[in-house]
A and B are shown apart, each in its own frame.
Chain A
């Protein structure tokens, strides 16, 4: 069974640009989560989508946004990039209705903002 996939693997952008990251969940999973892992800060929760709806949002500015498509894949958009947005962006998926809500992560997209 295929795991969570993310694209692209690496991105280099300059300040002020916009970027779109993509995630495909494990088959059968309806929830997608986005996390930011910046150096020294650990994993910070960004967004949670379930069944096409945004369910929860972390403490990030509105220039971080996303959506979930009918096939449960998801996009994360970051506008007006800042230097501190440089990080590994991780997508995880789960079938939320299970008690444990085990989340399985993709390999991440490494974003560098110059």
Chain B
């Protein structure tokens, strides 16, 4: 079992749709959860981060973490063609953990059609 599983898609939705992106993980030591957006041939851009369980909202984006189920989600409301990108979930144990690096999912490719 991989540490982080993410459905690679591709996911195609019409403009204005609500998009749900998800990741599952196996390492219960993960405490910090992040979502990155990566446009084609560019480096990943940090979109949102959350600590432990709970929700966090930022504009059209909502991140949810359910540590009991080892499941995280990113919701995009009123999706726009400019949201078309690959979305990567990433996790870490955080400062003091055994690893400083992030563990990434493989990414979900999202296409928002006008």
A58 to chain B, nearest CB (A): 7
User: Would you list which residues of chain B between 26 and 73 have a CB under 8 Å from chain A?
Assistant: 32, 34, 36, 41-46, 49, 51
Give the size range of A's interface with the partner. 20 to 34
Measured between beta carbons, the chain A residues less than 8 angstroms from B103 are 45
Task: List chain B residues, Cβ under 8 A from A72.
Answer: none
Question: What is the CB-to-nearest-CB distance from B52 to chain A, in angstroms, rounded to a whole number?
Answer: 11
Known A-B contacts A43-B88, A96-B100, A107-B43; the reply to A102 vs B105 at CB < 8 A is no
- For A40, the chain B residues whose CB sits under 8 A away are 106
A65 adjacent to chain B (CB < 8 Å)? no
Mind listing 21 A-B residue pairs with CB under 8 Å? A31-B100, A35-B101, A42-B106, A42-B107, A43-B88, A43-B90, A43-B102, A43-B104, A48-B101, A58-B101, A88-B41, A92-B102, A96-B100, A99-B95, A101-B92, A101-B94, A102-B34, A102-B46, A103-B90, A105-B36, A110-B41
